[in-house]
Amino acid sequence: MPCTTRAVATALLFLTLTGLTALGSPRATAGEAAGPPAPGPAETAAGAPLPADSAPEGERGTFSFVLENDLFYGRDRDYTNGIQVGWTSNPQHVPYWVVKAANLFPLFPGDGRVRASFSLGQSMYTPADISLADPPAEDRPYAGWLYGSVGLISENGSQLDQLRLQVGVVGSPSLAEQAQKIVHEVIGSPEPKGWDKQLRAEPGIQLTYQRSLRAFVSGELFGFAFDVTPHLGGALGNVFTYGNAGATFRVGYNLPDDYGPPRVQPSLPGSGYFIARDRPGGYFFAGFDGRAVAHNIFLDGNTFTDSRSVDRIPLVADLQLGVAFTWRSTRLAYTYVLRSHEFEGQDSADEFGAISLSFQF
């Protein structure tokens, strides 16, 4: 990564984390007696605040599956597919050393319930015309990203902090070429012919941090509960480097105690877990996320070797609309995403859909 990019990345992360610290509640100081957690604005079934320590004793770990694809809108270009499977532990069965590690992180609240998360995923990117064996040099290059991640989550009823480390590989070892060709053959879509021009193999490392302030604004609208949850965060690595901010609006019945459905990053933050309830619940949601992007390997090209690249647009915005349903130990959601132009010469904004299924066991 060039020195200027590293400098911008460092400045973005510093400003982001400074803002995150200002937005959140202060941690208890060392040696201070740990009092009972303050109630947060998360709603219970009756609309009353949910205290931070009220997670049910029987809460289980949560498995999540996310599929994102532009085929939902008749497209096959740019960010064309993402898939991710993940597991989030429950706070009653987190090893002591994990809790200790979370307590050492200065941006986590001192009264938070700690969870651990693990995931595997793959993302793929293609130019506009996949029928060409040699796509135009000014179009987005073919690229794939295969990764695994580990994360720490801290939540106190009113604030969610998520720290995630992703490690993986870009280029042919990501198996994106094989995956797309197999899927296209199964569904009868045209064969992508330009994968020989994809980014070169490169290891990737990515550190992401997000803070969400649950129900920062909340109330009732025409008899339905609603809330607004702002978020702020950033990422640092040779895959993505950016600072981001935005908010999510939810309105529905028996609003679940979550922060929205999970997504493949970069995106609006959600939560891989949720609190199960006996009664069905559901909500419509709309969200916005703006990113100041200092580095995107899928546009800037390989870090250490020459490769195809395009002129990145530094400011990118995501708009998402969707619906989510929960019943007992299951959550199902669908999200429509509109992403602004990411590089100079891009023909149109990016559109894709995301399906997520989460269940506890």
Read off the pLDDT of residues 247-262 as tens digits, 9 standing for 90 and up: 999 999 998 888 999 9
List the chain residues with pLDDT less than 50: 1-57
Residue with tokens 């973005």: 12
Q: How far apart are CA 2 and CA 304, in angstroms?
A: 10
Domain ranges of the chain: 3-21+40-360
End-to-end CA distance of the chain: 43
Per-residue model confidence (pLDDT) at position 24: 42
> How far is C-alpha 30 from the chain's CA centre?
32
pLDDT at 48: 35
Distance, in Å, from the CA atom of 289 to the CA atom of 206, rounded to the nearest integer, reads 19
> Residue 8 has what pLDDT?
38
Cα distances (Å, whole numbers) of residue 275 to 28, 147, 232, 302:
26, 28, 23, 41
* pLDDT at residue 39, as a whole number: 39
Instruction: Quote the pLDDT of residue 266.
Output: 96
Burial (0-12, 13-18, 19+ Cβ within 10 Å), 143: buried
Position 238 scores a pLDDT of 97
Question: Do 92 and 136 touch, CB atoms closer than 8 A?
Answer: no
pLDDT value for 58: 55
CATH fold of the domain at 3-21+40-360: Lipocalin (2.40.128)
pLDDT of residue 256: 86
Contacts of 127 (CB under 8 A, 6+ apart): 77, 135, 136, 139, 140, 141, 142, 194
| pLDDT of 275 | 85
**Sign of the dihedral through C-alpha 189, 194, 196, 202:** negative
